Each structure stands twice: as structure tokens, then as C-alpha cells.
A and B are shown apart, each in its own frame.
Chain A
Amino acid sequence: MVTEAKVKAVEGYEKTLERWLGNVTKEDVKKVLEMVGKIDKLPYPRLVKLYLDLCSYCGACAEECHIYKTYPKKEFNPAYRTSLLRSVYLRHFTLIGKTFRGLIGAKELDEKMLQEWFIRFYQCTMCRRCGVFCPFGVDNMALVRTGRVFISAALGKTTLDMGRGVDSHLSLGNASFMKEAVFKHTVKFWEEEIKEKKGWEVKVPIDKIGAEMYLIPPNTDFFHSLETMEGITAMFHAAKADWTMSSKIFDVVNYGVFYDDDVWEKIINMHIEEAKRLKCKILVVGECGHALKSLMMLGPSLLGAFPFKVKSVLEVTADYIKQGKIKLNKEANPEPVTYHDPCNAARMCGIIEEPRIILKVVCKDFREMVPNRDRNYCCGGGGGVVLETASHDYRVEVAGKMKVDQIKQTGAKIVATICANCKVELDHLITYHKLDVRWAGVHDLVLNALML
């Protein structure tokens, strides 16, 4: 049901997005059109053109979109969203669109259309669920990202906190204005925590050249989910792993994934260069969704093979379990636990069974939520939407509503996940909807269950 609160939440965020884009001039429109004209210069032009060509407006995607299902208005239909890009491309860059624009829905890019682009592309959480169900295989997420890329490349515009995060990243090497001294102080704190909780003397290796694994977590975990760092550290300790972190590049997030190719490349190069400097064999991505997409999928496809492997920390831990390298006691987590599949981890990178292998041996009562795996629903904070304070009401009332219902149905007391974005969104959902549940990283639960 579309309640008054939902209407207010959506309208509020739409107004904010409009304000962030600011006044749009004819000159701005021209600049964006020039970018659309350079579609062949995109890193994946054939795919984008194929997706622009294929949609038949059958509506299958709308039925699968968590936002549209919660709030069925035309503008939230994924096919409508991407038709904004399609109609402009047809009108300006195809012969048929230039000639018979009325017949094929071709539309001019003007100031109003550009505003609508910004709003619709940034309302999408880029979860890619609609793409799984499209009979033609159209990946609407790729088109939404392309629209964001055009605007960012032409006008340098994105949403407020995403832009701030990137400014911080390009100057300090992390998205949260964190300096090396803070990093080292935080490491010391979580080492002490492990000592208190487990009685183990553990040191996090820093800048160890030639270590087998170089771990980069999302630095959100330092602020928001330090237990995850404690769990990963303790797990490496128990498995006697040869690993390191870096005192310079300790943040794996890369917001360029969400909106800008140049930003993405600058940030991923920080990760690649540091992995080379440390001469690691495996770059291990901490509990982070979009960073997996950056380093596992986009990186090797667009920049060529790396001289090291990339793994999710979930794969590492699941392997240790299979090899019997770590001992776990599931009695340590007696409460019912469910698992939220982050879209970028599950649908994009296939990290699906690893967290389940782990949860089934660290929890007494593991329950699936439905649907799950690559058919999961987005938490409501994907695509960088959760980064914005101003998007809170939109996320808790609309984008995350289906996730709330899913969690309730499991009866679980803990919802575990492996993405920093999802953890923040789950925190907001649980608080706002007063659920008798808490969120946790998978490695938070590993920490409880680990034995030497």
C-alpha cells in the first residue's frame, strides 16, 4: 500500500536530488549530449547499445523490482527508467529516431529530461534483479550506471556524500577522511578486543612484503562493524595464515563503480599498485559487495589480468573450513540466524555458497530467507543510495521495505551479511521498523565460534 509516509519520503528525496543537480542550462544539456554521442568510447559500448536496442516494454522487470513492487508508480518501473536513456539515444543518434521520432518514442534531451535522468538514475539501487528476469537479458543496472556516467563525465555531478567520499579517496586513499595514525590506533583497539574476548595475543601484520594474502576491508568496517575485523583477524590467526594489511591503502571501497569510469580506474589502481608493492599472491577483499565487483569483475575485464589473484574473504574462510584448518563451535551462536545476500556479492560475483558453508558450521539455527541467492531482494541501500543521509526516509519506507518483510518472515534474531553498505542499511531498517533483530557480519559470528 502506498501510504502517506511513502509519498512524503519519495517526494522529499526527489526534491533533494533535484537540488543536488542544481540549475540546468542549455549548455549543460549540450555537454551531456556530447557524452552520449561518444557512446562508442565507453568501456562496454556494444553491451550498452544492445540493451538500448532490445527492450520490448513487456513489464517483466517491474514485477521483480523491490522499489516498484513497494511503490507501483510508472517512474519506478525499470523499463521506464532506462527508456529515458533509450529515447534520447534514438532521437539524437539513430537515423530512424531523427526521422520518425513520434513513432518510436524518441525524445529530445532538454533541461527537464536531464533533471529526470538524474533523479531516476539515482533512485535506482542498481541491484540488477530485474536483469535476471528480463526475457531478453537486458541489464537495466548497466544502463542506469551508463546514465550516471554520462552526467558525471559531462558535468562532474553526483550525489552529495558519494562525491565527498570520492574527494577523500582521491586525496587520502580512503573514503572516510581516515589518516594512518587513526588506522593504527584502531588496529590496536581490535587486537585488544580479541585478547579480551578470546584470550589470544594477536598482532595484525602491517606492510609485510611478500605475505601470501593482502587483506583490504571496506573501511566502513572500522567505524561501523569492527567485530567483522576482529573475526577476520582471529580467523587468520587460528588458521596460521600468512597475511598482511597496508598502512596506506586499507580501504577497498570504490564509489566509481556506481557512477564514474575515471574515478573507478583511479581508485582501483591504488588497490592494484599496493598489491604489487606488497608482492602478495592473493588480494583478499573483506566483507564488501561493490569492491568484489570492482576487483573480480570490472578490473580484469577492462584493465587486463592482474599479477595476483583476487578472492573474497568468504572464500578463504570457507576453504579453511573444508580443509579442517579452523575449529568452530556452533553452540557459541545459539540464536536463529538468517542471511541477506548482497546483490553485488551474490548476483554479480557468485559469492553465494561460501557464506552458507560458514554459517551452517558457526550457528546452531541457520534459516534461509525467501527468495535468496541470486534471486534475493536488495536491502534498499545499493548503488550508493545508502551513502546519502538525505535518502534515509526513501530507503526505510520504500527501497528497503521488502527486505523488512523478508527478515520478519524468518523469525531470525540475527541477520548476517557480507557487505558494508547492506550492514548500514540493515541497521537503519531494524531501528526504524523496530524489529527485534540485530545485524552482524558473517565474521562477527565466526569470531564467537572460533576455537584454537
Chain B
Amino acid sequence: MAKILLGGMEIEVDEDGFIQEPERWNKEVAEDLAKIEMAYPMSDDHWKVVNYLRNYYLEFEIAPPIRMLTKQTGFDLKYIYQLFPRGPAVGACKVAGLPKPTGCV
């Protein structure tokens, strides 16, 4: 596991760059992750996706179904790919500070 500088803090990330210390996630960390994920500067729409993922994760300790994400944000999958070029699982979940989703996603 490597440590990288995110939001002015040294934070441990896994080999695909997902943070391993979810409790240290904040707005600045998200913005630095968004730079890595080609999703910077972050618009209101970026934040809408990230906040939804974050809140779901805090409640269920996992990423939500993509269908829930698209329904609750009102964005379709194509648009989410525009916001996060590496997609909902790798791109958006990483910026939201979630652990990497596993299993065919």
C-alpha cells in the first residue's frame, strides 16, 4: 500500500488509488482525487453524484446500485461517464472516498 498527498494529508491508497482511510475523506481530498480521475474542476453535478455515493456508503458500507445513483441524481449513465470518465465504479466511487467495488463492476 502506498501513501499519497491528498488535501494536504498523507493518505493510504490501494493499488488502484482508492483511499483506505475513509474517515479522513473531506472536500479537499475529493478534489485532489477528482484531479487524478480527470473530473476536475468539480461542478455542482459532480458533487451531486459524490454526495449521493458518500451518504449511501455511510449508511450501507458499500456502493449503491448504478440504477439508484442514476435515479436519485437524475443523471443517465452516459452523463455520469462524462462527469467521471472512468465511470461510476472506478471514477465516481474513488472521488467519493469509497473502497473499490468488487465483482464485475
Q: Residues of A with Cβ closer than 8 Å to B?
A: 160-161, 164-165, 168, 174-179, 181-182, 185-186, 189-190, 193, 218-220, 222-224, 226-227, 253, 386-387, 389-390, 420-421, 423-424, 427-428, 431
Which residues of the other chain, B, contact A253 by a CB distance below 8 angstroms? 103-104
Given A176-B62, A182-B60 in contact, is the A420-B16 Cβ separation under 8 Å? no
Question: How many A-B contacts are there with CB distance less than 8 Å?
Answer: 80
A182 contacts B62, C-beta separation under 8 Å: yes
A390 contacts B16, C-beta separation under 8 Å: yes
B104 contacts A218, C-beta separation under 8 Å: yes
B103 contacts A165, C-beta separation under 8 Å: yes
Given A189-B65, A227-B67 in contact, is the A387-B60 Cβ separation under 8 Å? no
A431 contacts B87, C-beta separation under 8 Å: yes
Q: Which of B15, B68, B87, B102 contacts A176 (CB 8 A)?
A: B102
A195 to B21, CA, bound (A): 39
Given A186-B65, A223-B66, A431-B87 in contact, is the A161-B102 Cβ separation under 8 Å? yes
A223 contacts B87, C-beta separation under 8 Å: no
Q: Residues of B with Cβ closer than 8 Å to A?
A: 15-16, 60-68, 71, 77, 81, 87, 89-90, 100-105
The 6 nearest A-B residue pairs measured at CB: A220-B104, A226-B67, A175-B103, A176-B103, A389-B16, A420-B104
B71 to chain A, nearest CB (A): 8
B contact patch SS: loop
A160 to B77, CA, bound (A): 27
A175 to B81, CA, bound (A): 25
A297 to B64, CA, bound (A): 33
Query: Which of A186, A219, A421 has the most C-beta atoms of chain B within 10 angstroms of its own C-beta?
Result: A186
A432 to chain B, nearest CB (A): 10
A186 to B77, CA, bound (A): 19
Which residues of the other chain, B, contact A181 by a CB distance below 8 angstroms? 60
B62 contacts A224, C-beta separation under 8 Å: no
B87 contacts A160, C-beta separation under 8 Å: no
Nearest CB in chain A to that of B87: its residue: A431
Which residues of the other chain, B, contact A420 by a CB distance below 8 angstroms? 104
Which residues of the other chain, A, contact B103 by a CB distance below 8 angstroms? 161, 165, 168, 174-176, 219-220, 223, 253, 387
Which residues of the other chain, A, contact B104 by a CB distance below 8 angstroms? 218, 220, 224, 253, 386-387, 420-421, 423-424
Which residues of the other chain, B, contact A193 by a CB distance below 8 angstroms? 67, 71
Nearest CB in chain A to that of B14: its residue: A160
Which residues of the other chain, B, contact A390 by a CB distance below 8 angstroms? 15-16
Which residues of the other chain, B, contact A179 by a CB distance below 8 angstroms? 60-62
Which residues of the other chain, B, contact A428 by a CB distance below 8 angstroms? 87
A223 contacts B16, C-beta separation under 8 Å: no
A220 to B65, CA, bound (A): 9
A189 contacts B102, C-beta separation under 8 Å: no
Given A223-B66, A224-B66 in contact, is the A165-B61 Cβ separation under 8 Å? no
Nearest CB in chain A to that of B64: its residue: A223
B101 contacts A431, C-beta separation under 8 Å: no
A182 to B62, CA, bound (A): 8
Which residues of the other chain, A, contact B68 by a CB distance below 8 angstroms? 189, 226
Which residues of the other chain, B, contact A190 by a CB distance below 8 angstroms? 67
Q: Which of B64, B66, B102, B105 contacts A168 (CB 8 A)?
A: B102
A163 to chain B, nearest CB (A): 10
B1 to chain A, nearest CB (A): 12
Instruction: For the A-B complex with A189-B65, A431-B81 known, give 10 more contacts whose Cβ atoms are closer than 8 Å.
Output: A160-B15, A179-B60, A182-B60, A182-B62, A219-B103, A223-B63, A224-B65, A224-B104, A227-B67, A421-B104
B104 to chain A, nearest CB (A): 4
A385 to chain B, nearest CB (A): 11
B53 to chain A, nearest CB (A): 12
Q: Which of B15, B90, B102 contacts A177 (CB 8 A)?
A: B102
Which residues of the other chain, A, contact B101 by a CB distance below 8 angstroms? 176, 223
Which residues of the other chain, A, contact B89 by a CB distance below 8 angstroms? 223-224
Which residues of the other chain, A, contact B71 by a CB distance below 8 angstroms? 193
Which residues of the other chain, B, contact A431 by a CB distance below 8 angstroms? 81, 87
What are 16 inter-chain pairs, A to B, with CB distance below 8 A?
A168-B102, A179-B61, A189-B68, A193-B71, A223-B89, A223-B101, A223-B105, A224-B89, A226-B65, A253-B103, A253-B104, A387-B102, A389-B100, A420-B104, A421-B104, A423-B104
A223 contacts B65, C-beta separation under 8 Å: yes
Given A389-B16, A431-B87 in contact, is the A226-B66 Cβ separation under 8 Å? yes
B56 to chain A, nearest CB (A): 10
Query: Which of B60, B62, B71 has the most C-beta atoms of chain A within 10 angstroms of its own C-beta?
Result: B62
